[in-house]
Amino acid sequence: MFNLLHNKVILFIVSRYITYVVQFVNSLIIAYVLGPVYLGVWGTINLILQYLVQFNLGIPYSLNVMLSIKKDEADREKYFNSAIIILLCLSFILLIIYGIFKLSNINIGSKYNLLHYTLYICIITIITHYNTLFNNLFRVYNRLFPIVISQIIVPVITLIVFIILRERVNIEMLLYIMLIGGGVSLSVFIIRSPIKLNIYISLKPIRNLLVKGCFLFIYNASFYLIMLSTRGLISNYYEIKEFGYFTFAFTIASTALLFLDSFSFLIYPKLINRLNSSSSDKSLQILESIRRDYILISHFILYSLILIFPFFVYFFPVYKPSIITFNFIALTFMFHVNNFGYSSFLTARHKEKLLSFYTFLALVFNILVVYCLIRFFNVQLEYTLIGTMLTYYIYNSFLLKKSLEELDVKIDSILFINRIMSLRMLIPVIISLIFSFLDLPLYCFCIPIILLIILNLPSFQESIRTIVTIIKNPNVINL
């Protein structure tokens, strides 16, 4: 036990878990204090921030890959400082765009009064770009404490402010908190940086970062925009109050997967290295093992939340209409996590161009399908997520096909379809979808989670053994 308390990996995961608990509590308090209408406004602001944060030209991700490859500290310093210069230029462009909007008095987002919040959004975006860059730097060096600070500071400050001011908290205060927390995080990163900041122009690293970052940017931006585009269309075509219900459900569902994301965050640089250097047989073994544990645990958590969510709503009765929406969001996330591992493998095999192409096509397909469902079929809000489920399923089939080609694995059509999403996973999902469409009583949703366990019992046993191994020897996360 004493050794566990001194292990950086375990402490990092525990701190992430504590952070998620605080975020979860904050989301409930924000929902209660703001109410459905202003929660819809707050959800839209966060949606815009998430859009803008993705437009970092892929520089943090390309830096991660380059630092994982480069072992010479002089080369690493050149690439890191080149990344800083690129983000400086990007920040300057963002400020110019803000100035144009401000001086021309363009009325954007009048439905949500967004013009009032544009300066906050602009500065928060710039700070987040740098914090993301430093996050990728520190994870390569396995220096986790500053990363923990950057992740926990905003949730903790938010909770403290709520305790002090209670119902006097408004959207502007929440944006101030994000500014202060982001600024403190950036200061900690700069002070503790493993690479000295030395602003100078080196064209070759800048060119390499931009070329590699271009495709990683398209991939990362397009992938995250798949779900964000669905939220954006919902925000645009449905009432603010309805989007408030959606935001409440989406926030709770998202929190469920953040704990597992901490594992993927830690292992990503090492996973890229292993998949790049291993034989096809070994790579396939690594992929199947990681995917089994991650996807199975994710599904189990999401099914559990479907059962638990109505009890949260009991304490916030104004959000009762969000229960069905939550079910569809949780089921959409099950399709979302199903692509785990394949994108990392293709990145490790230097297939960023093809990966970005697939992901961009998936984004376009999702926008078209969801738009058609809204405009031509006038579906209820939660049914728009059917389009996103279909997008993730088709997208995963393309990733699987290319991954199998790279691994030189040949399988027939039936086995291929089963690999896209195993029948043992798909059957409970389909049953849950049917139950959600029929709006059946809560106790009916015990059936899918029981089926999940029964159909995947050997895999569950393996996943439990993996968890026990990590607890006993956390360094196994290093792959």
- Please spell the DSSP secondary structure of 257-314, one letter per residue: HHHHHHHHHHHHHHHHHHHHHS-HHHHHHHHHHHHHHHHHHHHHHHHHHHHHHHHHHH
Helix pair 446-455, 457-472: axis angle to 10 deg: 80
Give the CA angle between residues 303, 265, 93 to the nearest 5°.
110
Classify burial at 311, counting beta carbons within 10 Å of its beta carbon; exposed 0-12, middle 13-18, buried 19 or more.
exposed
pLDDT score for 336: 92
Classify burial at 114, counting beta carbons within 10 Å of its beta carbon; exposed 0-12, middle 13-18, buried 19 or more.
middle
CA dihedral of residues 141, 142, 147, 152 (deg, nearest 10): 180
Task: Give the integer Cα–Cα distance in Å for 452 and 304.
Answer: 11
Task: Give the integer Cα–Cα distance in Å for 183 and 327.
Answer: 36
Contact 225, 51 (CB under 8 A): yes
Classify burial at 357, counting beta carbons within 10 Å of its beta carbon; exposed 0-12, middle 13-18, buried 19 or more.
middle
Phi-psi region of 439 (alpha: psi -120 to 50; beta: other; left: phi over 0): left
Average pLDDT along the chain, 479 residues, taken 10 residues at a time: 56 76 83 82 83 82 78 82 90 87 68 75 92 88 85 90 83 90 93 84 82 82 87 90 88 74 72 75 87 90 93 85 94 92 84 90 96 95 96 95 90 88 94 95 94 94 79 57
Token pair in block for residue 83: 């990344």
19-55: burial string, b at 16+ Cβ within 10 Å, e else = bbebbbebbbbbbbbbebebbbbbbbbbbbbbbbbbe
Residue-wise DSSP of 158-227: HHHHHHHHGGG--HHHHHHHHHHHHHHHHHHHHHH-SS-------HHHHHHHHHHHHHHHHHHHHHHHHH
Alpha carbon distances (Å) from 77 to 7, 195, 214, 382: 28, 6, 21, 48
Tell me the chain's radius of gyration from C-alpha atoms. 22
- Amino acid at the residue 323: I
pLDDT score for 2: 45
In 3D space, the residue among 257, 307, 300, 327 whose CA is nearest the CA of residue 425 turns out to be 300
Residue 453 Cα to chain centre, angstroms? 26
Phi and psi torsions of 238, nearest 5°: -115, 165
Q: Look up the pTM and report it.
A: 0.79
- Find where tokens 């999940």 sit: 452
Task: Give the integer Cα–Cα distance in Å for 126 and 129.
Answer: 5
Residue 341 Cα to chain centre, angstroms? 14
In 3D space, the residue among 145, 173, 140 whose CA is nearest the CA of residue 64 turns out to be 140
pLDDT score for 8: 64
Task: Give the integer Cα–Cα distance in Å for 38 and 245.
Answer: 11
